[in-house]
Structure 1
Amino acid sequence: MKAEEVEYRGMLLEPWYHLRITNLETYSMFSNMFKGWFDDSMSNYNEFIEALLKGNLKEMNIYMNDIALTTFSSFDTGNHPSKRSQPERFYHGFVLGLLVELRDSYDVRSNRESGYGRYDIMLVPHDRKNDAIVMEFKVHEADEEESLEDTVQSALKQIREKNYDAGLTAAGIQKEKIRHYGFAFEGKKVLIGK
């Protein structure tokens, strides 16, 4: 991929990069991957968004686990410690793709610095009546955590300790209007907590 243009958007003038796919093989890979995600006509891809905006963890978990089980390949989600960050990147990219439809109501941000680190995904509402959302993705490490719940707690702890809310509060969003979600992955198993 090649960066064609940089555009600055939002209240904090964050950079948005316009990318171009540079060759037919890469275009084909992305095209096939996206078609695979959305081929199942029985799936309603708005269900995750609706559950997220309502704060319905049960529905968010059902949706993500159903999609992971029925749509994703083990090669997508990986289980190999040597490729630790790849499953995290895969799920991050998938969720980010789902959230794009919120761009009229939220600034959808990914991998930007805030506080003492770099969050995975942040949704900044255009209407301050709505909650802001910070998401952190973690792959379950069996040698460090006993369960997916421990991995979720690790993700939530990272959001707090690295103060990812700093950019939001600096923009005038009150702490009580910020929701945190930790996403834990182990192959095709997903657990989301707050």
Structure 2
Amino acid sequence: MASKSHSISLLAPGLHHQRKGTQAILLVTGKNTFDKNEDEWDVRFSTQDGETATLEVQIPHHVPVGVWKLAVEVSPRGDDKVRDIFRLEDQIFILFNPWSKDDEVYMEDEEQRNEYVLNDIGKVWVGSYPTARGRHWVFGQFDDAVLPACVYLLEKANLKPDERGDAVKISRAISKMVSK
């Protein structure tokens, strides 16, 4: 990494307002620790195996959730005009994080996190008092179709970029859509 300059660009397609937190350009310097505040984008060098480097990206808790694109720009050190750009074809999904204390959806109790986030089967309650009963339910949050379906609903909600980083506004918008 000594003879080349690297940067990572992350972009939320369809939300093209850099000042709204929908784009991040991070310079890779070879540092192996995050040195910025947790509410700022940062990148650190993790490992290198031959020609392959592994980088870790710190994502602020308030960025818009949804699909992001990633590009890595490589240029000889000191020459900003000559570059190779590698675009990741796979989608990157940025989500809320119940494990992060700074995130709006943080859940302190590990047992509750396991129950409400990681458990993909459970019960839903139907009916009204006094005949309410529990029904076995497969939540399926880890099924391949669920994340793209959620992003589709999110895009149809037409939220502003800064609203897409707010769990309450997203919940209200999607609830409104499915209640129609």
Class of the TM-score when normalised by the shorter of the 2 chains: under 0.3
Q: TM-score, normalised by structure 1?
A: 0.23
Task: Give the structure with the larger helix fraction.
Answer: 1
Q: TM-score, normalised by structure 2?
A: 0.24
